[in-house]
Amino acid sequence: MATQSSPLQILFFPFLAQGHLLPLADVARLFALRGVKCTILTTHANVTYIEPIINQTNKFLDGKNEAHLVRISVSLISFPSAEVGLPDGVENASDASFPEIGQKFFQACSLLEKPFEQLLKEINPDAFVSDTFFTWSADVSARTGIPRLVFNGRGLLARCAQEKLLHIIESLPVDTDKFVIPGLPHQLEMHRAQFMFPLKNKEILPIVKRNSEMDARSYGEITNSFLELEADYAVHWHEVVGRKAWLIGPVVLCNEELIEKSSRGGVNTSIVTKELVQWLASKRSGSVVYICFGSLANSNISLEQIIQIAIALEESDRDFIWVVKSSNQDGYNDWLEGFEQRMHKEKRNLITKGWAPQLLILNHPAVGGFLTHCGWNSTLEAISAGVPMITWPMAGDQLFNEKLIVEILNIGAAIGVKEDPYLEKRQLIEAETIKNVIESVVGEGIEGEAMRKRAKELKKRAKAAVQEGGSSYTDLGNLIEELIARRNTV
């Protein structure tokens, strides 16, 4: 056990997906900047995603030359691909999108329990932070006596709504399309069709419920949000749900340097970034629409729907950047090649394949709107950049994040998705609808102007929250002090 004079030591174990690795690496950076000794545990293939964050943090810490600051270290754990029949190199959820591969991937993750416990005993930290998907880490905490802090990667509105929904979803009447989640600070009306996948797939609900139960057994949750964004739900979480949470975000605001924004995700992006910066610099302020559905969500969009998005963009007068993904859908590659060729001739549009430096794009003054799947990371990145959103949620917490963006914060407009993404045949949203919603956000009308004004004000509040004396800065300090006090009394 550490002495009272030694720094607090925390081990971080993010889930093996880019949308989980990056924010938890940001969290580790925040702790390291406050004098905590941080170790990030991951697999060999996933180090590349978080290396830019770690290297920039350690470079900054070295430059401070202060004895109480400790460099972030990385510890590696072997991923048991062979044991479950996965191909070599499949160690990230983005490489496991097919159902049979995805099932094996989660099976492999469950086999990490024993080696994780052994490494935990060797490192012997004062606490560890593990992703909610590593439910078994709650049992490891109980066996070792080392407190577990949960990183869920979602906002508190979504967390509160999910906890309520778990109690009512199986009893939803089959003859009603809409329902209101009871007992929340706001009236959140949802469509029953949005939750057909967990209703039909009887294996999903028990898993989600077990996650909730294991999280409730833990010391508390680290939440990537800030009080001014979700004040009502912070109160609800503490007083009604009855569980601890520390709001320390938006953690993405620790990435202010240009090199971090352009290299985030561990991809060699110098050529892509240079082209993007030059292209954006040629555009007028607020004129560009940025379209990205996240690292995993694109697989849920049919080619027919993608074509409607393309028609909307092509027929509009708006410049746009569209991050497109690879797809096995018949005809997709031929269509994409033709679309790229037409857009290249116009030179008012930029299409990038697979990845783009999202932080850099959103923070550029030329960007005026973000068509997004409403993943929590993307939502916070847009809020932190002061960019209003066009919302197109796919599943899970994204449905609740849309409610926050459109109905509570009023910094976006909904495309109108009302169905579960896993339905074989989904409602097709026509190009005209897509174009009109984009225009309502980015256009010169009163509605869009009001959204942009509110988004810019929220950006100021987000930055104030993480600065010294702000709500997130204070909450992080309170957590560190609580963990030190616990260590010193054990």
Q: What is the 3-state secondary structure (H, E, C) of 57-69?
A: HHHHHHHHCCCCC
Answer whether 155's CB lies under 8 Å from 236's CB. Answer: no
Lowest-confidence range among 65-69, 374-378, 463-467? 65-69
**47-64 and 18-33 helices, crossing angle to 10°:** 10
Two structure tokens written together for 192: 């029953």
203 contacts: CB under 8 Å, gap ≥ 6? none
What residue numbers bound the domain in which 289 lies?
Answer: 281-463
pLDDT tens readout for residues 226-252: 999 999 999 999 999 999 999 999 999
Q: How many Å apart are CA 340 and CA 268, to the nearest integer? A: 22
List b or e across 243-270, with b for residues whose CB sees 16 or more CB atoms inside 10 angstroms.
bbbbbbbbbbbbbeeeebbbbbbbbebe
Indicate if 242 and 294 belong to the same structural domain: no
pLDDT at residue 264, rounded to an integer: 67
Residue 266 sits at the vertex; the CA angle it makes with 51 and 13, to the nearest 5 degrees, is 50
Nearest to 57 by CA among 85, 21, 15, 26: 26
* Residue 183 domain flag: no
Residue 107 and residue 149 share a domain? yes
In a domain, 109, yes or no: yes
What tens digit of pLDDT does each residue of 363-411 get? 999 999 999 999 999 999 999 999 999 999 988 899 999 999 999 999 9
Amino acid at 474: T
Strands of the sheet with 245-247, listed across from one edge? 73-76, 37-42, 9-13, 127-131, 148-151, 220-223, 245-247
Given a cut of 70, whether residue 335 has pLDDT beyond it is yes
In the numeric block, which tokens belong to residue 278?
Answer: 């030059």
DSSP string, 219-242: SEEEES--TTTSHHHHHHIIIII-
163/198 Cα distance (integer angstroms): 14
Do 356 and 396 lie in one domain? The reply is yes
Tokens of 423: 């339905």
List helix spans (H) across 282-396.
303-315, 332-346, 358-362, 376-385
Residue 188 lies in a domain: no
The verdict on residue 61 lying in a domain is: yes
Residues 201 and 322 in one domain: no
* pLDDT bucket at 263, cuts 50 / 70 / 90: low
State phi, psi for 259 to the nearest 5 degrees. Answer: -65, -30
Q: What is the mean pLDDT of the chain?
A: 89
Arithmetic mean of pLDDT, 133-158 = 96
Angle at 149 between CA 143 and CA 152, to 5 degrees: 120
Q: Phi/psi at 267 (nearest 5 deg)?
A: -95, 145
- The answer to whether residues 295 and 441 belong to one domain is yes
Provide the annotated active-site residues.
20, 131
Task: For residues 378 and 350, state if they share a domain.
Answer: yes
Let me know whether 365 and 443 are in one domain.
yes
pLDDT higher than threshold 80 for residue 286: yes
Residues 362 and 232 occupy one common structural domain: no
* Alpha carbons 56 and 446: distance in angstroms, whole number: 42
360: in domain: yes
388-402 in b/e burial notation, b at 16+ Cβ within 10 A? bbbbbbbbbbbbbbb
Pick the more confident residue, 376 or 102.
376
Categorize the per-residue pLDDT at 418 as very low, low, confident or very high, splitting at 50, 70 and 90: confident
- pLDDT for the residue numbered 169: 80
Q: pLDDT category, 265, cuts 50, 70, 90?
A: low
CA–CA distance, 319 with 302 (Å, rounded to integer) = 24
Contact criterion met (CB below 8 Å) for 128 and 11:
yes
Q: Give domain status of residue 132, yes or no.
A: yes
pLDDT band (50, 70, 90) for residue 425: low
pLDDT at 61 over 90: yes
Strand order in the sheet with 319-324: 349-353, 319-324, 288-292, 367-372, 389-391, 412-414
Return the pLDDT at 199: 64
Query: Do 479 and 340 share a structural domain?
Result: no
Round to whole Å and give the CA distance between 49 and 249: 20
- Does the global pTM surpass 0.75? yes
The token duo for 332 is 């997709």
Which is higher by pLDDT, 255 or 365?
Answer: 365
Does some domain include residue 162? Answer: no
Asked if the structure places residue 263 within a domain, the reply is no
**Region for 416 from its dihedrals, namely left if φ exceeds 0, alpha if ψ lies in -120 to 50, beta otherwise:** left
Q: Are residues 76 and 225 in the same domain?
A: yes
- Give 31's Cβ-side CA count (13 Å radius): 30
The structural domain count of the chain equals 2
How confident is residue 333, by pLDDT bands cut at 50, 70 and 90?
confident
The pLDDT value recorded for residue 424 is: 57
Least confident piece of the model among 9-18, 27-36, 268-277, 379-388: 268-277
pLDDT at position 30 is 96
pLDDT in the model for residue 490 = 75
pLDDT class for 13, splitting at 50, 70, 90?
A: very high
Averaged pLDDT, 456-466: 97
Same domain, 234 and 309: no
3-state SS assignment for residue 219: coil
For the cut 90, the answer to whether the pLDDT of residue 94 exceeds it is no
Q: Residue 216: give its domain's CATH number.
A: 3.40.50.2000
Both 309 and 420 in a single domain? yes
Inter-residue contact 433 to 209 (CB < 8 Å) = no
Residues with Cβ within 8 Å of residue 284, at least 6 apart in sequence: 366
